[in-house]
């Protein structure tokens, strides 16, 4: 197994999402330093995994879970704002635009070459994306949150 795979996958998914971001709806990466005190609407990229399964000698299957935490502040002009942002985030993960994995970084083995493409998985109920609305999480500021989650797999060769 290649010890760089988790980093390359995370960096490539981050790059995929960052390419779709607009200044009107910025993205943060979980753990990134930021000051969102004055920023009302944004989403945060989080990833679980990869989880690896050895198939044959030098051949692995990897699974990841991508989660986008969506945040918006309600106002009297637009009660659908969170739904609009959730829909936008869902388009980032719906499989329409492939998520290519590259050897990203500045190390010796980070030659920027193509490794493979993530495949969006269907869940047991056939769902491709899972959206969860958490409602108003701060009544004082009328902050609402939701998440968009997708699961992917990729075959990797050492």
In tens, the pLDDT along 26-47 reads 899 988 887 767 788 999 999 9
CATH of domain 5-30+40-157: 3.30.2000.10
Which one, of 111, 102, 93, lies nearest residue 151 by Cα?
93
149-155-158 Cα angle (round to 5)? 130
In tens, the pLDDT along 102-129 reads 999 999 999 999 999 999 998 666 667 8
Residues 156, 49 contacting (CB under 8 angstroms):
no
């Amino acid at each position: 197994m290649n010890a760089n795979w988790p980093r390359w996958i995370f960096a490539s998914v981050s790059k995929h999402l960052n390419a779709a971001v607009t200044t009107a709806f910025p993205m943060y990466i979980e753990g990134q330093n930021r000051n969102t005190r004055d920023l009302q609407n944004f989403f945060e990229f989080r990833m679980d995994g990869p989880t690896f399964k050895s198939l044959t000698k030098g051949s692995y299957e990897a699974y990841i879970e991508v989660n986008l935490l969506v945040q918006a502040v309600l106002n009297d002009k637009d009660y659908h704002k969170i739904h609009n942002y959730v829909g936008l985030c869902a388009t980032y993960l719906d499989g329409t635009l492939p998520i290519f994995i590259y050897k990203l970084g500045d190390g010796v083995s980070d030659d920027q070459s193509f490794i493979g493409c993530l495949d969006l998985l269907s869940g047991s109920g056939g769902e491709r994306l899972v959206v969860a609305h958490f409602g108003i999480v701060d009544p004082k500021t009328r902050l609402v949150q939701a998440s968009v989650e997708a699961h992917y797999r990729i075959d990797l060769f050492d």
